[in-house]
Structure 1
């Protein structure tokens, strides 16, 4: 796998940090407990069916779900999803996904725990994609024009809930805090240019992002950039999960 120049520059400029796997592994179980431990469920905005499998409709939730399935040596099946749909206002963070067990964990906490299992170059690629893909997802939602049906499919909202959701999107992942004064269109174009440099990475998070774009937003500027062979490869990642 050839590392894009944008990542090479990152490796050269930032000291390497290696995080070793710890005993505090995050776990996900199916709604029917696989053991006597407390089952953990991933709360998401909405779901869609791919073949006979139920999957989250947003790329952050899909990537998180697939990684948790992978980490716990589970298989994607129609009878063991470990997913539940909840209103985004039902989350204490006003965003999803959240992990629900004996406590509730935000996506930031989930990603931090998942990152413990990456080492060296993989850690940096994972961290890089967490930031870049979340930013790209948010700016896509804020910049592109969607009809109400798209919001309903992605986030299970309608009518006044769509307006409420749109107001909340800039707060996701502290986006508004990190970019308090921003020309969204220019920032979006910059991210699209960067996306062309790393979209062929062989990575589960990237595959999840591409799948959601292909399923729901192929008409967007992002969708127009993705070659058919990369879309096909992304679905292979899903089929092998």
Structure 2
């Protein structure tokens, strides 16, 4: 009888010992998950701030003493992915700046270019479109490469699956992707505005486009207002992203 009680006692101890170990492991997982989230939010803010200065590369420590094991591997991957995305976008923006894209609608520039049949503006639009298409291709390749890298991460398969799902979902919530979609729409509006300028008579007066025909003026103003709205949306996205990061810190 004592032997049976001893066996039952040992079995009970093993069961509850195992349950306690699982509980400890679960608690550790919860603690690591919270630490992981904090690390990602904090360093995402650092990346965001550094990315505002296009002239300097983003420098951030991918390692963090609060993390270990799978969560450190995931954090290093996610942060590296974010840095690469930010650097790629900054490179894209620098290229647009070099093409004087921010001066596209400058009245004095266009008035001077009109004298040479808009040769500079035509070239600018071709180059900007090529740059946009190249950046689009980069985004697609970068995402495909990231998904492939996730499959090779030496982490728990459930975490690997969640990481892949999060990456795919981020396409719909990512600031860079959202801004790029608006920028592509802006480029389309730029082509429309240029066609209006090119196909209608106008003069430069008080640094303003003065059209000979009211219909052309009305059409130009309508499309221009659409561009203004797109620019406003882009500013709002950037500000919302900043507020979202700050609220999580």
Q: TM-score, normalised by structure 1?
A: 0.27
Q: TM-score, normalised by structure 2?
A: 0.27
Which has the bigger relative contact order, CA under 8 A and spacing at least 6?
Answer: 1
Point out the structure with max Rg over C-alpha.
2
